[in-house]
Amino acid sequence: MTDQIHEVVRDHYARAALDVLERDMSCCGADGDCCGTQAADGAQFYSAVEQSALPEAAVLASLGCGNPVMVAELNEGERVLDLGSGGGIDVLLSAKRVGPTGRAFGLDMTDEMLALAQKNAAEAGVTNVEWLRGHIESIPLPANSIDVVISNCVVNLAADKPSVFREIFRVLRPGGRIGIADIVADDSLSPDQRAELGSYAACVAGALSFGEYRAELAQAGFDDISITTSHEASAGMYSAIVKAKKPAGGV
């Protein structure tokens, strides 16, 4: 089942990345100006200033449900990890915020998205980034190596969410924090009802409820957990900002 979910999600986002690459190559002339393509819905969560500092393809590939960089309160010199980094919009914005003494990592399982992200980073001239291929259930980074973990509408796609939260806790340094934008279900909706509302790739079937989200984070060891809704995505499904901290004494 885990492999099936991975394949469904990978195929969906591989096609999304290829669509962006094809539009970018076919619409952009030698002067770098692109014809009137429409950005993905996720672009609405980023300010005009943020968008203007990024390559067009990074904005076109923004498929999230919020702006985790805005709420993560990043500081100069911090090390940031974006889970399911896609075309790289949140990694590039994070890299600018943490500055040359910091570093931003992007983890994705889709080769096409990683290729798009690398292209966007090169075009933006951002060098304090590192792209990692892998699953968010098994993060390819050492323990206690990251200050902040962000993610944008990706945890709901994970096949094994308890493993995701355990891995986030493992890679965070003591006192580290998360700032995640995600789709969260009303507590009244059962898993079967969520599945009826949409697919995994549509960020619905795999969504946790508010109570489940808090319980899973607490079970992984997090405290200071908060889940704040930003808007209703569909009936009983909400876009939310999830925050939590790894205790200063955590290992």
Domains of the chain: 2-245 (3.40.50.150)
pTM: 0.82
pLDDT value at 204 more than 60? no
| Strand ranges in the chain using DSSP code E only, listed in sequence order | 79-83, 103-108, 129-133, 146-152, 172-185, 223-234, 237-245
| % the chain with pLDDT above 70 | 77
> Which range among 37-41, 190-194, 202-206 shows the weakest confidence by mean pLDDT?
37-41
Report residue 28: phi and psi, to 5°. -90, 125
Closest CA to 183 of 64, 15, 73: 64
pLDDT value at 231 more than 90? no
The label of the residue with tokens 């992007």 reads 106
- Using the CB atoms, write b or e for 80-101: b if 16+ within 10 Å: bbbbbbbbbbbbbbbbbbbeee
Q: What is the pLDDT of residue 16?
A: 58
